[in-house]
Amino acid sequence: MNNMNNEIVKVGCIKHIYPDKTEVKVCGLDFTVHRGEKVALIGTNGSGKSTLIYHCLGLLEPTEGQVEVFGVNPAKNFSVIGKKMGVVVQNVEDQLIGPTVFDDVCFSLINYGVSKKEAGERAEKIIKDLNIENLSNKIVHYLSGGEKKKVALAGAMVLDPELLILDEALAEIDPPTTEIILRKLNEMAKGKNAAILMATNDMRLVEKFADTVYLLEKGGITFKGTYAELTQSGKAFEICRH
């Protein structure tokens, strides 16, 4: 697991200055995600979770510090690494293309050159795996918030990504579907050696999901360890209180 070749994401001490001059620092412990590893990123609102994720996605480039994903700067090389990644952002409205759920799940595959026949077969399988067949022919934009999250997850997972990044992606999803998704994530990590990064403050989810937990407090990463080590440290309680 600690083999350097297995490192998919590596973030050192970074600083980002937004256009409105807001400065966000993510320093402290180095942040890494390895192949086959399920990583939970926790922290109160304003601690920098989304900033860190946007840097991993190449949507932001640090003012200071270094970010590497698949060994390159994601902000400058997204066209090279994008095909290896699946993403679910916090506001899924921004990534649903539609018109129907089935079309939406097929979209990225077809966009990356997969034949319509294969894309359709893969979309049918993930829709079945996530138990959302009842949504398949529905118009995306008429779905509930939780249903939209499920569709976005299907659209990310269908790519069989080497790196899956989930920003509060399981919020609003019912418990039975959450269990199905967690099993699927486990299968991706163990069976396909995918790296999975999930930002969440749902401690029940962290307990079930994470191999490694990072705690981000304002200014930096202050904890890295297992969920059990996190609870022993008492820091999980602080997150739950906010």
| pLDDT digit string, tens, across residues 178-213 | 999 999 999 999 999 999 999 998 999 999 999 999
Residue 200: per-residue pLDDT: 92
Range of the domain at 235: 4-241
Side-by-side strand order, sheet with 14-17? 14-17, 23-28, 219-225, 212-217, 38-42, 195-199, 163-167, 85-88
**CA 20 – CA 98 distance, rounded (Å):** 34
Instruction: Show Cβ contacts of residue 119 under 8 Å, excluding neighbours closer than 6 positions.
Output: 106, 109, 110
pLDDT in tens for each of the 242 residues of the chain?
444 569 999 999 999 999 999 888 889 899 999 999 999 999 988 788 988 999 999 999 999 999 999 999 999 999 889 999 999 988 888 889 889 999 999 999 999 999 999 999 999 999 999 999 999 999 998 999 999 999 999 999 999 999 999 999 998 899 999 999 999 999 999 999 999 999 998 999 999 999 999 999 887 899 999 999 998 887 665 665 44
- Quick one: tokens of 41? 């990123």
Rounded to the nearest angstrom, the gap between the alpha carbon of residue 201 and the centroid of all alpha carbons in its chain is: 13
Which residues, 6 or more positions from 225, have their beta carbon under 8 angstroms from its beta carbon? 212, 213, 233
Return d(Cα 106, Cα 159) in angstroms, integer.
Answer: 9
The number of folded domains in the chain is: 1
Q: Which amino acid is at 225?
A: G
Q: Are 220 and 214 in contact (CB under 8 A)?
A: no
Q: What is the CATH number of the domain that holds 173?
A: 3.40.50.300
pTM: 0.92
CA dist 195 to 36, 86, 137, Å? 5, 10, 31
